[in-house]
């Protein structure tokens, strides 16, 4: 009886195992397919378009004229003819030092000149009458010249007691007061002519062919966000610096005095347009330790795509697009969103091609 049961059970088990071998692989493949559907990504075309050739740099604004006013002579301040922040004209007196001694010296020398002139006139008459020698006449002429030179020297000393504006502009803040004793070289205040400003900047030497005198620059400063000011290149340094850069200087009109010397400036220069270039969205780029890459998509069956990682060389960026100088062609499709879900060789699909669940 037991032997008979054993012979019945063995065929039944063999049948179950055979059915299992047929069913399990199919169900495993179905489960794997259900568990790992193609990743959904966004594809963009590589476009050929004319790129704005922009050159970006940073610089600093410098006043057209600026100086720290100081005294050339020492003395006590007897008069201050300006207030901090005042606009002054060229030649306008600003500070007067005590000049009583210099005034007296000038009057003394004026008397000396008068006396020397009278003596010279007297000797000339005597010489005409043969009552004086040529040597006496020469000495009288020399004495008169020396007296005139002494007078000129004392007048120059007197002029040093008055500090005047060397050019028109705005006076800075001063901490001096009447009665303050000034030493030679001591700063009185700053004087700035910012009716025009100079923009000083440097650019890479390879940009030199794109530069020319009179070329327009667009200036932006933090004080006026979103606003652009125009300047024109007025000088290009003929000497290339050790950092392989070229120094430029541009002139910027500032009649409304909205900009100030010393401001940090962001400079943009539009270079001559070139042939159209290939561009992709900024989001298509992936940054790795080996450089910049993109995923290029190749069409497969049933609306699916296979991607491969491609290294690219980039150029300029503008309007959320990047110039591709090497690595892609105009017919390529690249993954512009969803790269985190894929790797080299992955099968993907777009949202519009995704199969309904």
Q: Using DSSP, state whether 65 is helix, strand or coil.
A: strand
Domain residue spans of the chain:
38-51+275-353, 55-63+194-270, 99-160
Q: Using DSSP, state whether 336 is helix, strand or coil.
A: strand
Residue 164 and residue 28 in contact, taking contact as beta carbons nearer than 8 Å: no
The dotted CATH code for 38-51+275-353 is 2.40.420.20
Residue 88 and residue 171 in contact, taking contact as beta carbons nearer than 8 Å: yes
Q: Alpha-carbon distance 274 to 278, whole Å?
A: 12
Q: Indicate the CATH number of 55-63+194-270 among 2.40.30.170, 3.20.20.10, 1.10.150.20, 2.40.160.60.
A: 2.40.30.170
Q: Indicate the CATH number of 99-160 among 1.10.287, 1.20.1060, 2.40.30, 3.30.70.
A: 1.10.287
Q: Do domains 38-51+275-353 and 99-160 have the same CATH topology?
A: no
In the prediction, which pLDDT does 29 show? 40
Q: Is the torsion defined by CA of 271, 277, 282, 288 positive or negative? A: negative
Instruction: Give 237-278 as a DSSP string.
Output: -SS--TTSEEEEEEEEE-TT--S-TT-EEEEEEEPPP-S-EE
In the prediction, which pLDDT does 195 show? 92
In the prediction, which pLDDT does 357 show? 43
Give, for all 357 residues of the chain, the pLDDT tens digit. 444 444 445 554 555 444 444 444 444 443 444 456 889 999 999 998 877 777 888 999 999 999 999 999 999 999 999 999 999 999 999 999 999 999 999 999 999 999 999 999 999 999 888 888 899 999 999 999 999 999 999 999 999 999 999 999 999 999 999 999 999 999 999 999 999 999 999 988 888 888 889 999 999 999 999 899 999 999 999 988 778 889 999 999 998 999 999 999 999 887 766 778 899 999 999 988 878 999 999 999 888 999 999 999 998 787 788 989 999 998 899 999 998 989 999 999 987 766 554
Contacts 24+ apart (CB under 8 A), 324-330: 324/46, 324/277, 324/278, 324/279, 324/280, 325/277, 325/278, 327/294, 328/46, 328/278, 328/280, 328/294, 328/296, 329/46, 329/278, 330/46, 330/47, 330/48, 330/278
Tell me the pLDDT tens digit for each residue of 221-258: 999 998 999 999 999 999 887 788 899 999 999 989 99
Bridge partners, residue 335, by sequence: 43
Q: What is the pTM of this model?
A: 0.60
Crossing angle between the packed helical segments 134-159 and 100-128, to the nearest 10 degrees: 160
């Amino acid at each position: 009886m037991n032997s008979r049961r054993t012979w019945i059970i063995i065929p039944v088990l063999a049948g179950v195992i055979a059915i299992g071998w047929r069913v399990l692989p199919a169900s495993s493949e179905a489960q794997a397919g259900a568990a790992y559907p193609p990743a959904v990504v966004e594809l963009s075309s590589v476009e050929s378009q004319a790129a704005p050739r922009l050159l970006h740099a940073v610089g600093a604004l410098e006043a057209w004229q600026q100086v720290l006013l100081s005294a050339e002579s020492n003395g006590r301040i007897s008069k201050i003819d300006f207030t901090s922040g005042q606009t002054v004209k060229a030649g306008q007196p600003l500070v007067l030092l005590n000049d009583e001694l210099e005034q007296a010296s000038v009057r003394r020398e004026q008397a000396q000149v008068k006396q020397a002139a009278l003596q010279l006139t007297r000797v000339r008459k005597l010489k005409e009458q043969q009552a004086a020698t040529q040597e006496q006449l020469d000495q009288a002429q020399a004495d008169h010249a020396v007296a005139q030179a002494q007078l000129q020297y004392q007048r120059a000393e007197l002029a040093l007691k008055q500090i005047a504006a060397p050019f028109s502009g705005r006076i800075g803040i001063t901490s001096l007061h009447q009665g303050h004793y000034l030493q030679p070289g001591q700063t009185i205040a700053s004087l700035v002519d910012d009716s025009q400003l100079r923009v000083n900047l440097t650019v890479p030497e390879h940009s030199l062919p794109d530069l020319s005198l009179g070329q327009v620059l667009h200036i932006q400063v933090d004080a006026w966000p979103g606003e652009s000011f125009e300047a024109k290149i007025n000088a290009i340094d003929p000497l290339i610096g050790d950092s392989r850069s070229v120094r430029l200087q541009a002139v910027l009109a500032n009649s409304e005095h909205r900009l100030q010397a010393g401001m940090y400036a962001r400079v943009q220069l539009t270079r001559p347009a070139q042939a159209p270039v290939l561009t992709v969205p900024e989001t298509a780029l992936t940054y790795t330790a080996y450089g910049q890459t993109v995923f290029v998509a190749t069409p497969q069956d049933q609306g699916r795509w296979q991607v491969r990682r491609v290294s690219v060389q980039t150029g300029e960026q503008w309007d959320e697009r990047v110039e591709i100088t090497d690595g892609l062609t105009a017919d390529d499709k690249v993954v512009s969103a969803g790269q985190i879900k894929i790797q080299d060789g992955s099968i993907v699909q777009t949202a519009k091609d995704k199969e309904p669940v």
